Structure 1
Amino acid sequence: MAVVVRAGAAPLCGAGVFAAGVGVLVPGFTGRRIGVMAGAALFLVAAALVSYGRRKRYGALARGAAKAGRHDVLQDRAVTVRNWRHAHRWWLLLAFLAALGSSLAVPAAGGMLLVGAGVGLRLKAAWLGRRERAEDMLLWVRVDWLDARGGRPAGPAVKGYRGTGIAAGDAAPGGARRRTAVPV
């Protein structure tokens, strides 16, 4: 489940850093200094709002997590990330273009806003990972409960989470790729 939360962090951060970098090159209407200061404020606000948003819903669903049954369909980390990014590719492109276009008015602010949203998603995934480690259970969302457009892990279609052991699947707690031990 943290994989779905974390799936958008890398594209948002990458696009945001690029848009902010290009935005710094253009002086804009407000000037670089004001643009970077406004971008820093937007970064902090976006990171806080995204990382703390809907925590009550995540907590309620996690408390009611049932053990994954034999007929629950759970998918691999790579498939989940690919599906989410494919379903949201146009939104990511539009956000990047909006951040790039806003550089004409306020340099780097739009890009830093995107980076803040990406960092907020990483912080939320880390919070979920700490919760998974504390409960010694990976949380999963059934594939059929995520809608075909990429899904939201705490959306109205999700009725509850499923739990498996901490070693199940190819995702580590928090949605990161599982690091396997190299045989000696």
Structure 2
Amino acid sequence: MGRGAYALARVAVIVRAPAGWLWWPGVLAAGIGTLVPGLTGRRIGVLAGAALFVIAGAVVFVVRRKRYLELARDASRAGKTVFLQDRAVTVRTRRRALRWWLLPAFLAAMGSSFAVPAAGGMLLAGLGAGLWAKALWLGRWERAHDALLWVRTDRVPRGRPAGKAVDAYQTTGIVAGDAGPGGARRSRAMAGAGR
């Protein structure tokens, strides 16, 4: 890891950021989809949607967990010169990167209801639930190890905190930054404390 000033973003915040943008449009699309009889009928559509919800959530939750743990285990302590990116900035950057496919995904979920009512929306919601669960899992790791996980912002241009471009995580004390374990917003900002 090079010396000098650079920005770090919270790993859990990057993971958690798109969860709401997937969950709520998914719930909306599923709700509207139940109003459409569809080709399969509402009952089959909802049952298929429930299965897709569980499968999508489980896959998103499980995928790359080993990689996250490897990076977390080998993480080094963040230096005094690093800049800890605010939670709001990380969330805004992550959502901006995803906005171009979120609308098409929502429209596809709505359109799929004419074939299988509610299924597309429940799939979308399942993806959001899986990301939220993964952020909570990261939060449990952070609490257990009394450390927050950070990644250099220039290593996650596409918002993949455990992608190939990421070669290391860094850690700070549990109260550093303005997001708590798991990426949730703190009641009050405590940036820079506890490093």
Decide: shared fold, TM above 0.5.
Answer: yes
Does 2:181 match 1:173? yes
Question: 1:7-46 maps to which residues of 2 (within 5 A)?
Answer: 7-46=17-56
Please identify runs of 4+ aligned residues in structure 1 that moved more than 4 A: none
5, 9, 12: which one aligns with 1:2: 12
3-state SS in 2 of match to 1:3: helix
Question: 1:75-94 maps to which residues of 2 (within 5 A)?
Answer: 75-94=85-104
Q: CA contact under 8 A between 2:178 and 2:188: conserved in structure 1?
A: no
How many angstroms apart in 1 are the aligned matches of 2:51 and 2:165? 34
How many angstroms apart in 1 are the aligned matches of 2:68 and 2:21? 23
Q: CA contact under 8 A between 1:73 and 1:142: conserved in structure 2?
A: no
3-state SS in 2 of match to 1:168: coil
How many angstroms apart in 1 are the aligned matches of 2:85 and 2:174? 15
Q: CA contact under 8 A between 1:72 and 1:142: conserved in structure 2?
A: no
Structure 1 segments unaligned to the other structure (5+ residues): none
57, 75, 78: which one aligns with 2:67: 57
Q: C-alpha deviations, 1:121-173, integer Å up to 9, x for none?
A: 011000000000000000011112121x4x21101111111100000000000
3-state SS in 1 of match to 2:84: coil
How many angstroms apart in 1 are the aligned matches of 2:113 and 2:18? 22
Q: C-alpha deviations, 1:68-97, integer Å up to 9, x for none?
A: 113434311100000000111011111111
What is the root-mean-square deviation of aligned Cα atoms in Å?
A: 1.2
Does 2:169 match 1:158? no
* Structure 1 residue 117 displacement after superposition: 0.7
Does 2:146 match 1:136? yes
Q: CA contact under 8 A between 1:73 and 1:143: conserved in structure 2?
A: no
Structure 2 segments unaligned to the other structure (5+ residues): 1-10, 190-195
How many angstroms apart in 1 are the aligned matches of 2:95 and 2:131? 14
Identity %: 68
How many angstroms apart in 2 are the aligned matches of 1:146 and 1:73? 16
Partner of 2:82: 72
TM-score (norm 1): 0.94
Alpha carbons of 1:157 and 1:72: their partners in 2 closer, same or farther (altered >3 Å)? Answer: farther
